[in-house]
């Protein structure tokens, strides 16, 4: 992969994205698109994009897409997959979308072993609405709605969704990755590929949680943001495979 | 003609949906519509369809969004509190112009309310319910046979106009049994080139997205929707008029109330009183001009509803407040008796009590 | 002709099925019919009832507040409905479970020991057919043959119960027809 970094994957459109400089949503899009290319599934893939900064991702993924109401992507994906069991269906969701307003939908999609793939971009904050507390916001992290830092006794503690979903039998592949370095990116892509393969094999639900930066709402430069992620998010959200039920 | 079978209204909706080509159902149990979800659970797999009990009404309606967007004939059903939860999804479905059928077997509200029949979700169903300038087509059957016939119609209208259609019934119609056949329940299928089925051999991806950040673009979307609604208003109103030609008093009622009202109107006719019944079958689009016609000879109107008075507003608008309008309603799951309506008819026509 | 029947009893006594059978038979005779149940948690252990209309004309209001005939399987049901019965109407009451008298001379009252008869025939489950037999002897809503053939159809999967239920129906019928009350 590293020798053709600048070629645009077929599964991405030729459109400039609206993401902020240093935002890692773009990297994650690209990894997903490369996997779709490599698995040669572009013409049978249907994406479900969320409400969040990636709400316009249907313009970037060069596949059929539906945009879901906030948090409901797993339900929408369920509807699509049940109609087209032979197609590949993925959701792309932020932390607020998946672990706050849409907690029920993702838990139950996983519990049903819905044969979909979920890409979960965890940036520990609400990007689109301007930097409010997310369910994954760290303890004491300052956000627009936790001006003195997130107080665990009143604002709760960060939700570790990968760990939670891994307890469900319907969840067949769960991994948490980051995209902070080329090596991490390669690992992330391999995880995303596994998650799509899990769906293709008919095994069940798969999710990759990608830790990502939001320099804009963290109030940091892109470089500072990657450092902050390594120092603060990794201890709370350890990388690794949380579920691999279809080990072959 | 196929032989009639004795069926509950809820079950008749399910069988009619299947006859009309519906093969996908997503729902969540709630009284008094549970027979419908149970019927679909049993029946859909028998015809190669797919049934899924969702974790909530919120999830169910969004599954419907996905399945409708993927090109399927799909249905969900619930009762009042559950339909409140579905409103977000219905707004998205209307915005995405996705065809589907949503059934509300109404019960008494507000809040958790009760489980006995009601018609208090009229405003929610006909005036939007969710956010934004949109309409569902709203159809109100008044018999088990109509539960069947109008369900099939609902699927066909949904596809033809790419619009969600709501069947607005109530606990009594859902639970009662009457003879029914499914002769007229036919699937009129349409092509759906816009559906997200995977690109396949298409050269461009399809996308269903209800976000328009540019106000000009979003206004265009709205203008387009409103043009469709205007067309619906001219093409798809349905109603029934009984003894309206010479009616001096016009009773207006829909759904189960129209059945109760009809008995009272019949009794009044038998007594020589010039009373007629007007029954809107589509509650949206409301049969405005039909009602305006029916009311011509009348000097007064009596609206009967299982609510505190919701459709009465549309009646007043349709007749431009040109007549005295009386109301009879019951709430909480209570039903008026036809003798109550008869008594009020007497009061209006012969206030001194004699005739 | 329009028959408006209320059948009421304990939840689980089978009053719903009884009403359905009557409606089913009415339909088979080419009449207009409707069956309207009470529903909800009250049915579990409490009283349940259904209203059946069998008419030569299309059924308007499916609710019944002044029944032309009624089967009351227990006291709470009787308390709820006895006042409403139309003058000249027919009331079958389950003498096995109801002791009180009904203070109405303007209706035909038939006190039938429904449970005793069913138990005597081998199973309390047959109370419904005893009651329907009694009802059809009191008032000719549908023909007894039609009701029995509908029973056979509805329970086609269980042919073994046909003979005993026919006997139950007959005993209920005779009880009223021959005034062996
Ligand atoms: C029902 C509803 N409530 C609130 C919003 C506003 N809203 C839009 S995006 C968002 C949070 C998005 O955060 P996240 O899911 O973390 O994604 P990110 O923007 O960080 O990628 C919220 C609250 C909405 N669109 N719909
Ligand atoms: S606000 Fe954050 S998440 Fe959203 S585009 Fe900008 S950097 Fe990315």
Q: Find the CATH number of the domain harbouring C83.
A: 3.40.920.10
**Could you tell me the pLDDT band of residue A136, with boundaries at 50, 70 and 90?**
very high
Q: Please give the distance, rounded to the nearest whole angstrom, from the Cα atom of residue A138 to the centre of ligand 2.
A: 18
Helix extents (H) in A39-120: 73-83, 95-96, 103-111
Alpha-carbon gap: C111 to the closest alpha carbon of chain B (Å): 29
pLDDT above 70 covers a percentage of chain A that reads: 96
Contact C152, C22 (CB under 8 A): no
What's residue B203's pLDDT?
Answer: 94
What's residue B355's pLDDT?
Answer: 44
Pocket around ligand 2 at a 6 A CB cut-off: A 19-20, 23, 25, 53, 123, 127, 214-217
Give the count of domains, chain C: 1
Angle between helices C127-138 and C144-154 (to 10 degrees): 150
Task: State mean pLDDT over C116-139.
Answer: 96
**pTM, two decimal places:** 0.92
Lowest mean pLDDT among A186-195, B345-354, C14-23, C169-178: B345-354
Mutate to test the interface with C, among B11, B34, B179 (most CBs of C within 10 A): B179
Check pLDDT > 80 for residue B55.
Answer: yes
Q: What angle do CA B197, A29, A244 make, to 5 degrees?
A: 85
Q: Which two three-digit tokens encode residue C92?
A: 């079958």
Distances (CA, A) of C79 to A77, A230, C40, C111: 55, 76, 20, 15
Angstrom distance (rounded) from CA B146 to CA B19: 14
Task: State mean pLDDT over B57-73.
Answer: 98
Check pLDDT > 80 for residue B48.
Answer: yes
Question: A158, A173, A231: which is closest to A205 by C-alpha?
Answer: A173
Cα torsion B88, B90, B96, B97 to 10°: value is -160
The partner residue sitting opposite A83, judged by closest CB among B70, B88, B208, is B70
Q: What is the pLDDT of residues C150-164, one digit of tens each?
A: 999 999 999 889 999
Q: In the complex, which subunits touch B with 3 or more CB pairs below 8 angstroms?
A: A, C
Distances (CA, A) of C113 to A55, A105, C72, C116, C173: 72, 56, 12, 5, 12
Question: C73 in contact with B at a CB cutoff of 8 Å?
Answer: no
Contact B62, B28 (CB under 8 A): no
Q: Which two three-digit tokens encode residue A37?
A: 């290319």
Check pLDDT > 90 for residue B351.
Answer: no
**Could you tell me the pLDDT band of residue C111, with boundaries at 50, 70 and 90?**
very high
Angstrom distance (rounded) from CA A48 to CA B208: 9
The boundaries of the domain holding residue C11 are 2-177
Chain B, nearest residue to C32 by Cα: B179
Distances (CA, A) of B262 to A114, B265, B304: 50, 5, 11
Q: A6 versus A10: which is more confidently predicted?
A: A10
Q: How high does pLDDT run on average in chain B?
A: 96
Q: What is the pLDDT of residues A50-68, one digit of tens each?
A: 999 999 999 999 999 999 9
Exposed, middle or buried by CB within 10 Å (0-12, 13-18, 19+), for A177? buried
A48 beta partners: A66, A91
What's residue C43's pLDDT?
Answer: 47
Exposed, middle or buried by CB within 10 Å (0-12, 13-18, 19+), for C12? exposed
Kindly state the DSSP code that residue A138 receives in the 8-state scheme: P
Question: A129 in contact with B at a CB cutoff of 8 Å?
Answer: no
What's residue B3's pLDDT?
Answer: 81
| CATH of range B5-235; options 3.40.640.10, 3.30.930.10, 3.30.70.260, 3.40.50.970 | 3.40.50.970
Q: Please give the distance, rounded to the nearest whole angstrom, from the Cα atom of residue B224 to the centre of ligand 1.
A: 27
What's residue C57's pLDDT?
Answer: 95
Residue nearest to atom 3 of ligand 1 (CA): A70
Burial annotation B234-258 (CB, 10 A radius, 16+ → b, else e): eebbbbbbbbbeebebbbbbbbbbb
Q: Do domains B5-235 and B241-352 have the same CATH topology?
A: yes
Exposed, middle or buried by CB within 10 Å (0-12, 13-18, 19+), for B123? middle
Q: Which two three-digit tokens encode residue A88?
A: 């590949």
Angstrom distance (rounded) from CA B78 to CA B174: 11
Contact A197, A108 (CB under 8 A): no
Distances (CA, A) of C71 to B176, B180, C5: 19, 26, 8
Task: State mean pLDDT over C56-68.
Answer: 95
Angstrom distance (rounded) from CA C95 to CA B103: 44
Domains parsed from chain A with CATH numbers: 25-247 (3.40.50.970)
Residues contacting C15, CB < 8 A, separation 6+: C7, C8, C9, C48, C49, C50, C71, C73, C128
Lowest mean pLDDT among B139-143, B187-191, B252-256: B187-191
What's residue C12's pLDDT?
Answer: 72
What's residue A7's pLDDT?
Answer: 85
CA gyration radius for chain B? 21
The partner residue sitting opposite A66, judged by closest CB among B64, B69, B200, is B69
What's residue C41's pLDDT?
Answer: 59
B180 beta partners: B5
Check pLDDT > 60 for residue C44.
Answer: no
Question: A122, A116, A121: which is closest to A172 by C-alpha?
Answer: A116
Tally Cβ neighbours within 10 Å of residue B201: 5
Task: State mean pLDDT over B213-226.
Answer: 97
Q: Please give the distance, rounded to the nearest whole angstrom, from the Cα atom of residue A125 to the centre of ligand 1.
A: 10
Q: Do B339 and C65 touch (CB under 8 A)?
A: yes
**Could you tell me the pLDDT band of residue A1, with boundaries at 50, 70 and 90?**
very low
Q: B288 versus C13: which is more confidently predicted?
A: B288
Place of tokens 């009129």: B188
Question: B233, B263, B247, B251: which is closest to B311 by C-alpha?
Answer: B251
Bond from prior residue into B338 cis (ω within 30 degrees of 0): no
What's residue B175's pLDDT?
Answer: 96
Contact A162, A54 (CB under 8 A): no
Residues in B lying within 8 Å of A, measured between beta carbons: 24, 26, 50, 52, 54-56, 58-60, 62-72, 74, 88-89, 92, 96, 196-201, 205-211
Task: State mean pLDDT over C44-51.
Answer: 78
Q: Which two three-digit tokens encode residue B130?
A: 């969710």
3-class SS of residue A151: coil
Q: How high does pLDDT run on average in chain A?
A: 95
Q: Tell me the chain A residues in contact with residue B49 when contact means C-beta distances shorter than 8 Å.
A: none
Task: State mean pLDDT over B273-283.
Answer: 98
Class of the CATH domain delimited by B241-352: alpha beta
Angstrom distance (rounded) from CA C62 to CA C50: 11
3-class SS of residue A18: coil
Q: Which two three-digit tokens encode residue B234?
A: 């001219």
Q: Which two three-digit tokens encode residue A99?
A: 């672990």
Bond from prior residue into A201 cis (ω within 30 degrees of 0): no
């Amino acid at each position: 992969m590293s020798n053709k970094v600048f070629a645009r994957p077929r599964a991405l459109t030729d459109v400039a994205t609206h993401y902020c400089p240093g935002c890692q949503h773009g990297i994650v899009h690209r990894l997903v698109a490369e996997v779709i290319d490599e698995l040669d599934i572009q013409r049978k893939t249907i994406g479900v994009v969320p409400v969040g900064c990636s709400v316009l991702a249907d313009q970037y993924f060069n596949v059929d897409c539906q945009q879901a109401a906030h948090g409901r992507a797993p339900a929408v994906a369920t509807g699509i997959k049940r109609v087209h069991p032979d197609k590949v269906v993925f959701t792309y969701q932020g932390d607020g979308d998946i672990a706050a307003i849409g907690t029920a939908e993702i838990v139950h999609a996983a519990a049903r072993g819905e044969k979909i793939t979920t890409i979960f971009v965890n940036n520990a904050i609400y990007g689109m609405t301007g930097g409010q507390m997310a369910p994954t916001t760290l303890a004491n992290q300052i956000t627009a709605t936790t001006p003195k830092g997130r107080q665990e006794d009143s604002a709760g503690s960060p939700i570790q969704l990968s760990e939670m979903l891994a307890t469900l039998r319907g969840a067949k592949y769960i991994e948490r990755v980051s995209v902070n370095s080329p090596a991490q990116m390669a690992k992330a892509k391999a995880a995303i590929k596994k998650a799509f393969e899990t769906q293709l094999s008919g095994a069940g639900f798969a999710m990759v949680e990608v830790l990502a930066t939001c320099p804009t709402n963290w109030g940091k430069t892109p470089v500072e943001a990657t450092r902050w992620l390594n120092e603060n998010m990794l201890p709370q959200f350890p990388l690794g495979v949380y579920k691999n039920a279809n080990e072959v | 003609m196929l032989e009639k079978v004795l069926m509950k209204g809820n079950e008749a909706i399910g069988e009619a949906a299947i006859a009309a080509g519906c093969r996908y159902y997503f729902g969540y149990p709630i009284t008094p519509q549970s027979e419908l979800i149970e019927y679909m659970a049993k029946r859909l797999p028998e015809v190669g369809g797919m049934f899924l009990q969702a974790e909530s009404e919120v999830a169910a309606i969004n599954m419907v969004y996905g399945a409708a967007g993927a090109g399927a004939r799909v249905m969900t059903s619930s009762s009042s509190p559950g339909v409140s939860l579905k409103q977000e999804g219905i707004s998205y479905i209307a915005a995405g112009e996705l065809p589907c059928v949503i059934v509300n077997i109404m019960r008494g509200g507000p809040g958790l309310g009760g489980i006995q029949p009601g018609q208090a979700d009229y405003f929610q169903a006909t005036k939007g319910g969710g956010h934004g300038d949109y309409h569902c087509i709203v159809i109100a059957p008044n018999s088990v046979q109509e539960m069947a016939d109008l369900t099939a119609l609902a699927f066909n209208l949904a596809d033809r106009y790419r619009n969600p259609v709501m069947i607005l019934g109530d606990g009594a119609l859902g639970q009662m049994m009457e003879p029914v056949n499914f002769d007229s329940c036919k699937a009129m299928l349409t092509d759906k080139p816009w559906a997200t089925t995977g690109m396949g051999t298409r050269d461009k991806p399809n996308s269903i997205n209800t976000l328009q950040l540019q106000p000009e673009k979003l206004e265009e979307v709205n203008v387009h929707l409103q043009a469709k609604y205007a067309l619906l208003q001219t093409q798809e109103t349905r109603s029934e008029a009984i003894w309206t030609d010479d009616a001096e008093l016009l009773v207006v009622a829909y759904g189960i109330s129209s059945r109760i009202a009809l008995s009272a109107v019949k009794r009044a006719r038998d007594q020589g009183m010039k009373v007629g019944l007007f029954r809107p079958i589509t509650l949206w689009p409301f049969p405005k001009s039909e009602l305006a016609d029916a009311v011509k000879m009348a000097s007064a109107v009596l609206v009967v509803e299982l609510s505190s008075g919701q459709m009465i507003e549309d009646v007043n608008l349709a007749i431009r407040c040109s007549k005295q309008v009386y109301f009879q309603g019951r709430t909480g799951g209570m039903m008026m008796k036809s003798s109550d309506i008869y008594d009020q008819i007497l009061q209006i026509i012969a206030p001194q009590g004699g005739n | 002709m329009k028959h408006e029947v209320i059948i009421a009893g304990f939840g689980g006594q089978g009053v719903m099925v009884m009403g359905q059978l009557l409606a089913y038979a009415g339909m088979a005779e080419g009449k207009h019919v409707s069956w309207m149940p009470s529903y909800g948690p009250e049915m579990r252990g409490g009283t349940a009832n259904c209203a059946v209309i069998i008419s030569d004309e299309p059924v308007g209001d499916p609710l019944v507040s002044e029944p032309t005939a009624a089967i009351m399987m227990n006291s709470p049901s009787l308390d709820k409905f006895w006042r409403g019965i139309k003058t000249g109407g027919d009331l079958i009451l389950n003498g096995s479970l109801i002791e009180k008298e009904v203070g109405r001379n303007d209706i035909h009252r038939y006190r039938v020991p429904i449970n005793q008869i069913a138990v005597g025939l081998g199973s309390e489950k047959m109370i419904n057919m005893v009651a329907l037999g009694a009802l059809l002897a009191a008032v000719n809503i549908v023909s007894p043959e039609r009701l029995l053939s509908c029973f056979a159809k509805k329970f086609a999967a269980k042919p073994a119960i046909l003979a005993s239920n026919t006997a139950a129906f007959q005993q209920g019928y005779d009880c009223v027809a021959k005034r062996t009350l």
